[in-house]
Structures are given as C-alpha cells and as structure tokens.
Amino acid sequence: MPPQPSSPRTTSPGTTSPRTTSPGTTSPYTTSPRTTSPPTTVFTVTADSLVVADFRPRGTREPREPRGSRGPRRPRQSRRRPSRNPYRRLFAIPGTRAFTIGNLIARLPMGMFSVSAVIMIAGTRGSYALAGAVTATGLAATAVVAPWTARLIDRHGQARIAVPATAIAALGSLALLLCVRYEAPDWTLFAAYAATATTPNTGGMSRARWAHLLKGDPARLHTANSFEQAADELCFMLGPVLAAFLCGVFFPEAGTLVGVALLLIGVLVFAAQRSTEPPAQGRTTVKAPSPLRAPGIPPLLIGFLATGAVFGSMEVVTIAFADAQGYRSAAGVILALQAAGSCAAGLLYGALKPGRPVERRYLLGLTAMTPLMALPLMAATLTGDLVALALSLLLAGMATAPTMVTGMTLLQRRTPEGRLNEGMTLAVTGLLGGIAVGSALGGWVAEHGSAAAGYGVPVSAAAVALLIALATARPATR
C-alpha cells in the first residue's frame, strides 16, 4: 500500500520543527560562529509545507492605568506667538496694571475739583467772580507748592510723601465744602482751597515709574508716554462732565465729595504697588542740579507755557462762541470732541515705532499743530457753523497729543537723574500757568472783539511755541 501523504502542518510563530532545515537556512538550535546575535527570521520545511518563523522582537503596549490613578498631565507648550500689540506687551510687565489702575482713579478728580468748586461757590454765594478768584488762588498755590512736593517725592519715595500730601489736600477740599455749606467768611474759602496745593502730580509719578521700569528701552518708553498722554486727555475730558453731572443731579457738594473719595482711593492703590516704585534718592553728597538749571529745560518749559495757552484759550473761546450762537450747552460736547481726537491720536502714535530723533519729532509736532490750530479760526470766521467748528476741533486735537508725548520724552532725557518727579511737575506747572494765561487772553479777545476772533489766540500761542523750539534747537535738528 503506497504511503499516504501527510496532511499539511503549521507551526505557530516562535516554534520550530525538529526536522532538518533546508539549505540556506539557519536552525534555531545552532548558532553561527560569526555572529552572536540571535536570528531574526527562520525558514523550515515540514512535509510539504514551508514554515517561516519570525523572531523579531514585538513592540509591547503599556497597560492603561485605571481612571483616577494618572499623575499630573504635562503642560502643553504654548504655540502662541508674542503679541504685536505694543500696549499688550507694555502691560505684560508685572505690577504695571495695578499701579496704572490706581493712578487713573486718582487722576480723574484732577478735572473735577475746579469745576465742582465753581458750581458749589457760585450756586451758594451767587458770584462767579468769587468762584473764579478762589480757583485762581488754588492754581497759583499749586504752581508754588507742587515742585517742592515733587522734590520730596524724589528724595524720600512716592509712597512716603504722596499719601500724607494727598491727605492734606483732601482735608483742604473738605474744609472748602464746610466753609461754603455753613456760609463762612470769604477769606476762609481762599485759605481752604490753597491747602489743596499739596495734591501730588499723579501723572508725573506714573511717568517716573515707566521711566524706571523701561530704562534702556526707548521704544516701549515711547509707547508708555503715549498712553499716559492719552490718559490725561481722557481724564480731563471725563472729569468736568462727571463733576457737572453730580453737582446738578444730586447737590452742589456732590462733585467735591466724590472727587475726594476717588483721589484718596486711587493714591492708596497706587502707593501700595511698591515693586514698581522708583528707588528714593535720599540726601546724597553729590546733588543733582535743579531741573531749572539743566541744559535745555528752561526753553522747553517756556514751550509748555505756550502750549498750555493753546488749551486754555481754546476752551474759553469755544464756550463763548457756542453761547453767541445760542447753544452754550453744546460747548461741552464740542470740547469733548477735541479731547477725543487728541486721545485717539495719542494711542495711535504710541503704537508706531519712533523713527526720528525725539528733538526732530518735537519740531515736527509743533509744525503740524500750528496750521491745524488755524482750522477752528477758519471754520468760525467763514462758516459760523457749530458742526464745522466741531469737525475742525477734532482735527486740531489730533496734533496736540503727539506733540505733548515727544515734549515729555524730551523732558525726561534732559532732566538730571534723581529729579524726574520734580521735572515732570515743573512741566505740569508750566502747562497750568499757560492755561490760566490763555484763558485770560481768549476771554478778553472774545469779549472786546468777537468770539470768532478769539480763535486767533490758540493759533498765535502755537506759533510762539514753534518759534521757541526753532530758536533753541540744535542746527543738525533744524
């Protein structure tokens, strides 16, 4: 009987048949004398079947851990690109948002106190002349006391001086409120309002912090100064509106009370941020010269005086022109458009990278501001329309913020080290003095001439500021 063929047999992977291997194959039971590593693939024959055994290592899959037993997940790497918004990168610095919020709260009442005092005094005493004289006395006292307060801040630190100085100023405002409320003699009003001169220059302290944090980084310092100028415009635009609303809706003393509360809260929040505060200079053996004697500072302060005259005359003349047209209540809206244009231009200017030296940019700003200030004069003289006047003021305001930003940056560079708060306060004092002079000149021209002719005062003041800058500029800058 012939032999039956055996059925095909298979071998599971990893096993071999004890049969002999075919030529050209390697048995798993023998080891090649030339290699010491184990074989990876074996071919063998079982009856009429060819078996391939694969000895390559298999990848093992780690067992899954039960829920709740996993450790902390690895944090994913952020794929976000750094922001191109210069203001977002500016406030990414630790501590800057906190002191900025406090400073804005403290800066808002600066535009409230004078308006609140005028409404409060005129409403109870029936005399705008007395109200104007009291506020003018407070302005004069501030011009004398503010530089000394700033010098103490530079010497002993912002928190140690700003908080008690603010408390004295708050007591002065409350004393004025009580004197008006209980019909005290007129001289007490002057004495009480003069005590508010110790109010620290919160805008100058904020700029000093930026200068300390961004030392050696002129691009970001330019953005910070632009933001501070826009904040000034915003606070001086909203402050009078808020004061008039509080005094009109509630009672005449409401504006002063709210202003005192905001000032105290803002300064306390600002002073509590000690990590960003510039170091106190103390009494050193080698004293830095006064900013008034530093090279380039006096002509710059005279330029600020002329620029302040632009602001003061524009405000008074606009009120007079709107009153002559029979729409005196619209003067606040028109002036708010000017401040809004300046605020928007300041923020846009801060987002741009400065490409020219700051001296040249300051001259270019004054050069642009002078012809733009002629637009309200042309609108009032040629058309006499309030809408055209509002649009011209919106355009004219766009030149003031970039000019002030470069002027403050130039003042920071020229101020001696350790006297920055004093230098900033002198600049603000020059602006306030110019506002007072401009208000007087603008009111005189509007009363003895015409309201439209009064717009010639801001044009003349801007031209004076430009001539001062040209006369004192270096030949290369000119």
| pLDDT score recorded for residue 268 | 92
Tell me if 424 sits within 8 A of 207, measured CB to CB. Answer: yes
Query: In sequence order, what are the beta bridge partners of 41?
Result: 54
The tokens 């080698």 sit on which residue?
Answer: 286
**Quick one: pLDDT band at residue 85, thresholds 50, 70, 90?**
confident
The CA–CA distances, whole Å, from 21 to 11, 16, 41 equal 14, 10, 13
Phi first, then psi, for residue 42 (nearest 5°) are -125, 130
Nearest to 277 by CA among 197, 167, 162: 162
Nearest to 9 by CA among 422, 17, 271: 17
pLDDT, tens digit (0-9, with 9 covering 90-100), for 12-36: 444 444 444 444 444 444 444 444 5
> How much is the pTM?
0.65
pLDDT, tens digit (0-9, with 9 covering 90-100), for 252-304: 888 889 999 999 999 999 988 888 888 877 655 445 667 777 778 888 888 88
Query: In sequence order, what are the beta bridge partners of 45?
Result: 50
Angle of helix 358-372 relative to helix 456-472, nearest 10 degrees, comes to 160
**Quick one: pLDDT band at residue 171, thresholds 50, 70, 90?**
very high
Question: How much of the chain, in percent, has pLDDT values that exceed 90?
Answer: 6
Indicate the range of 81-90, 111-120, 386-395, 456-465 predicted with least confidence: 81-90
| pLDDT score recorded for residue 240 | 73
Q: Which two tokens stand for residue 444?
A: 């005189």
- Regarding predicted confidence, which is higher, 424 or 213? 213
Indicate the range of 281-295, 391-405, 421-435, 448-462 predicted with least confidence: 281-295
Query: What is the SS3 assignment for 462?
Result: helix
Nearest to 149 by CA among 191, 104, 216, 198: 198
Where b means 16+ CB within 10 Å and e means fewer, 258-294 reads bbbebbbebbbbbbebeebbbeebeeeeeeeeebeeb
pLDDT at residue 385 tops 70: yes
- Regarding predicted confidence, which is higher, 435 or 283? 435
Indicate the range of 128-137, 153-162, 442-451 predicted with least confidence: 128-137
Indicate the range of 48-62, 99-113, 438-452 predicted with least confidence: 48-62
| pLDDT score recorded for residue 174 | 92
Nearest to 198 by CA among 164, 165, 171, 160: 165
**Quick one: pLDDT band at residue 324, thresholds 50, 70, 90?**
confident
Nearest to 297 by CA among 185, 180, 178, 423: 423
**Quick one: pLDDT band at residue 140, thresholds 50, 70, 90?**
confident
